[in-house]
Amino acid sequence: MFRDSVLDDYADRHEIVALCDVNPHRLSESAKAASKPGTNGVATYLADDFDRLIADQKPDTVVVATPDFLHADYIVRAFEAGCDVICEKPLTIDLSRLKMIIDAQARTGRQVKVTFNYRYSPARTQIRELIASGTIGTVTAVDFRWHLDRVHGADYFRRWHRQKENSGGLLVHKSTHHFDLLNWWLGSQPTQVFASGRRAFYRPETALALGLADRGARCADCPVAAKCDFELDMSKDAALRQLYLEAEHEDGYFRDLCVFDEEIGIEDTMQAHIRYASGATANYTLTAYSPWEGLEIKFQGTKGDITHRHVEVHGVFGGERAHADEDAVTTELHLAGEPPRLLDVPKAKGHHGGADPVMLGYIFAPDTMEPDRYNRASDHVAGAWSILTGIAANASIETGSVVDIPSMLKARGIRI
C-alpha cells in the first residue's frame, strides 16, 4: 500500500530509496513493482543488511510493515539512525518492546506515525464529531462487537499471527484498531480491563466434526482440501502465488497452514470489560468465525444514544465472500424525548471504507489536506494506548483477574 501510494500518487514529493525484506524472492518482486521504466530500479537489502541500507541510502523515513513482533526492533534502529518511522499497526505487541520504543523516542526525539486507517473513514469520523460536539451528552457506556468472517478471520490462524509471541493474539493484533477507535471516540484512556478468551472454533475437534479427520499440515498437500471450506489454494491467486507460494522455498514461510492445528496459540473468541479514565465503561466482543463480517456499536450518553452498524461482508458461501455495498453502513441517533433518526452517513471510495486514500494524503502530502479537526494522526502515545487494552486483556485472561493499567505501566517503568 505505502509503496504503490508513493509511486502512483506522491512521486513528485517522495522517493523510495530502498526496499528491505528477509525473503529474497519477495524483495525482488517488490523491487520490480517499484522500478520506474528506464531506470536502474530500486536498491534492495536483505534484513541482515538493514544498517548498511541506512548508511548507504540515508532515508529520512522508514516504513515498517513486517510481522508485528519485529516492529519495535526496526523502530528503535530507525530512531537511533536519525529517521522518522511510519509503522503498521500494532505499534508493538508487549510491554518490554513498548518500553524500548518509548525510551528510544524520548532519547532521540524522532517520530513514529502508526497508521490507524479506520480513524479516517468518513463514517467513523462522523461518530467522533457527534461525540466530541456533545450531541449525546457525556458518554457513559459502550457496547462494541466486531465479527470477522470465516475467510478473513480464518487467515489469522494460517500463518505467523497464530502464535501470541508473533502477534500478541487478536486482542493486540486486530483489536488495536478497535481499542484505538474507542480511545479516540471517547477522548479517553483505558484504566482497567477484565477479559475472557479461548479458542472455541479453530480446533482439531471442529475439523473432525466437519468430516476432515485426515487433514494435512497445510492446504497445498492436504488430502481433504477439496471438501474443506477453509482451503486456501495459493496457486489459484496470482498475488498469493507470486508473493508467497513461489517465495516459500527461501524461508519456509507457509501461508496456508491448517487452521485447525492443535499448536495454534491465539484465541478466536474474546470478550473484555473496560473502564476508562473518563468514567465510561465498555463491553467488547471479537469473534473470528462469524457467518458475516462487520461491527456493531452503541454509545449510551446522558442525552441519548448512537447506534452504528457496518456490514462489510454479508456472508461466506462455499469459501466466497459476498461483499456488502456502501449502504450497509447505518448510524442512528436517538436523543431522549425524540424519535430515533437515521443519519446520512458520508461515503468515500477506497480501501477500508474510503479511509486509506485520506490517511495516505495526510501522511504523504499533509499541506494539500484540510487541517485535521479530528486529530486523526497517531503517534507513539496513541499507538501505545491502542495496545495497552489488549495487553491488559491478555494478562487478565492469563490470571483471571482485573488488570489495572497504570499499575501495570508503573511496575515496568513505562511512562507514556
Ligand X SMILES: NC(=O)c1ccc[n+]([C@@H]2O[C@H](COP(=O)([O-])OP(=O)(O)OC[C@H]3O[C@@H](n4cnc5c(N)ncnc54)[C@H](O)[C@@H]3O)[C@@H](O)[C@H]2O)c1
178 makes contact with ligand X (CB under 6 A): no
The strand pairing partners of 244, in sequence order, are none
Question: What is d(CA 345, CA 370) in angstroms, rounded to the nearest whole number?
Answer: 20
Q: Contact with ligand X (CB under 6 A): which of 7, 22, 151, 200?
A: 22
Question: Counting contacts by CB under 6 A, is residue 396 touching ligand X?
Answer: no
User: What are the two backbone dihedrals, phi and then psi, of residue 251, each rounded to the nearest 5 degrees?
Assistant: -135, 5
Q: By C-beta, is 26 or 203 nearer to ligand X? A: 26
Q: Which of 2, 89, 130, 297 binds ligand X (CB under 6 A)?
A: 89
Q: What is the DSSP string of 119-167?
A: GGSHHHHHHHHHHHTTTT-SEEEEEEEEEEETTHHHHTTTSGGGSHHHH
- Is residue 23 involved in binding ligand X (CB under 6 A)? yes
Q: Which is nearer to ligand X, 65 or 277 (CB)?
A: 65
117 near ligand X, rule: CB under 6 A: yes
On whether the CB atoms of residues 413 and 97 are closer than 8 A, the answer is no
State the nearest-atom distance from the C-beta of 98 to ligand X, in Å. 15
Q: In whole angstroms, how close is the CB of 243 to ligand X at the nearest point? A: 7
Query: Is 402 within 8 Å of 192 (Cβ atoms)?
Result: yes
A 10 A CB-CB count for 187 gives: 15
Q: Does 20 bind ligand X (CB under 6 A)?
A: yes
In the complex with ligand X, the residue whose CB is nearer, 63 or 95, is 63
Residue 320 corresponds to which cell in the numbers above?
466466497
Residue type, 88: E
151 sits near ligand X (criterion: CB under 6 A):
no
34 binds ligand X (CB under 6 A): no
What lies within 8 Å, CB to CB, of 370 at 6+ separation is: none
Give yes or no for residue 66 binding ligand X (CB under 6 A).
yes
Query: Which residues does residue 139 pair with via DSSP β-bridges, in sequence order?
Result: 301
Binding residue (CB under 6 A) for ligand X from 17, 47, 132, 277: 47
Q: Is 65 in the site for ligand X (CB under 6 A)?
A: yes
Interaction residues for ligand X, span 216-235 (CB under 6 A): none
Of 5, 16, 21, 110, the one binding ligand X by CB under 6 A: 21
The continuous run of DSSP H or E covering 180 comes out as helix 175-186
Q: Of the candidates 9, 80, 88, 372, which one interacts with ligand X according to CB under 6 A?
A: 88
Interface with ligand X (CB under 6 A), residue total 16
Number of other CB atoms surrounding residue 206 within 10 Å: 16
- Of 115 and 290, the one with the shorter C-beta distance to ligand X is 115
Among 62, 70, 172, 274, binds ligand X (CB under 6 A): 70
- What is the CB neighbour count within 10 angstroms for residue 258? 27
Q: Rule CB under 6 A: which residues touch ligand X?
A: 20-23, 26, 47, 65-68, 70, 88-89, 115, 117, 173
